[in-house]
Structure 1
Amino acid sequence: MKIPKNVNVVNDSYRTLSERAIMLRNTLEKLGYNVEWGYYDRHTVTVNGDNFLEYYPIPVLTVNGICDIAVDFLQVSIDGKLFAAEFEEKLDFAKLKSHGFECYGVENYLESLYVPGMSFEELVQIVRACGESEIGVAAAFDGEPLTKEILELMQVFINMGTHTEAHSPIDEGDETEKNALNGIDESTPAFQVADALLNE
């Protein structure tokens, strides 16, 4: 049997994508993060303001239950969730809006709550009125960003306290419990090595 040319093209493309995802996973694990990953299809990205549904599977890395990193042919995106009640307090709008920022309700995830050019105050009002209990927050790099850039953006999600699975909000005063939930604390390599990398 002869392998069709288009199958070889797809296979070569996926090999490159897989290698990128594995390199990122290995880096995160060396930094002390717990990473679960797999291939998922029907991922939706925004291209020129329109939703583009990817029927093909792409590698997605879930990091410490904090955020998902999707390694795509078009971009690398980071996605996490915030409770709507904490959205105004925790969202780092200034750092996210320069990274293809998206905001959506977890239930009605195809309806974007954020339009480029919208102010933080306008976004907060829309979130309050949307009726969603959890808000998805995403940011992306086009193409193939440096690992350091991905780590820097991931740190923004860590600082905001995003999560990937629904659970009860944690008392703001309990830093130990919050760090335990994320699987990290000041003694883990993630804090020490990532700080060194990000402050080079």
Structure 2
Amino acid sequence: MSEFIHPNLTQPQRRGLMFVLSSPSGAGKTTMSRKLLEDDDHITLSVSATTRAPRAGEIDGRDYHFVDNARFDAMVANGELLEWAHVFGNRYGTPRAAVEATLHAGRDVLFDIDWQGTQQLQQTEAGGDLVRVFILPPNMAELERRLRSRATDSEDVVAGRMARAATEISHWGEYDYILVNDDAAQCLAEIRAILAAERLRRFRQLGLAAFVRDMLGVAG
């Protein structure tokens, strides 16, 4: 996806936005995130810090920043995280410095986080940059079918994820956009449409006022 850049506008053309995708486990947020990143060069994934152990194939710094509990405690105490939460017995958090640098450079940051993290992001000084999208499954039976089709989780884990899903879904009203992932291609198209529209919001086009003044020949 390309963006029109007018030579008279001051760089960067806009401040980046924080684009959140949330859903209960199995509803599709991770799949949607990966596809969006594959197709859009103007958005970067926020790499979370976590206390959980790496899974097979995961690389430190690419998939997560894997840290021990002492380091995570220090990051919280020093204000190095924009948000953090307990999820399935481990802690996850968003490192502040990388996100803020990306936003100031005019690039967007994609967050694959839950409602707890989203609430915390809304309360930060960058809350005005936040765009919140919640992805729902078509129904709970389909959500359970998707979880079981992974064949990677025990019965207890699946039951725990289903129980947590009800709590997560109850927070749908805190989001700006609600999508139902019944058809993956359609859901992805809707996500792209939301991102395109949010990028064009007037307040995000930093050089627009000067551009219009020049167009009309009006002195600054």
TM-score by length of 1: 0.29
Bigger relative contact order, structure 1 or 2, given CA contacts below 8 A and separation 6+? Answer: 2
Which has the larger share of strand?
Answer: 1
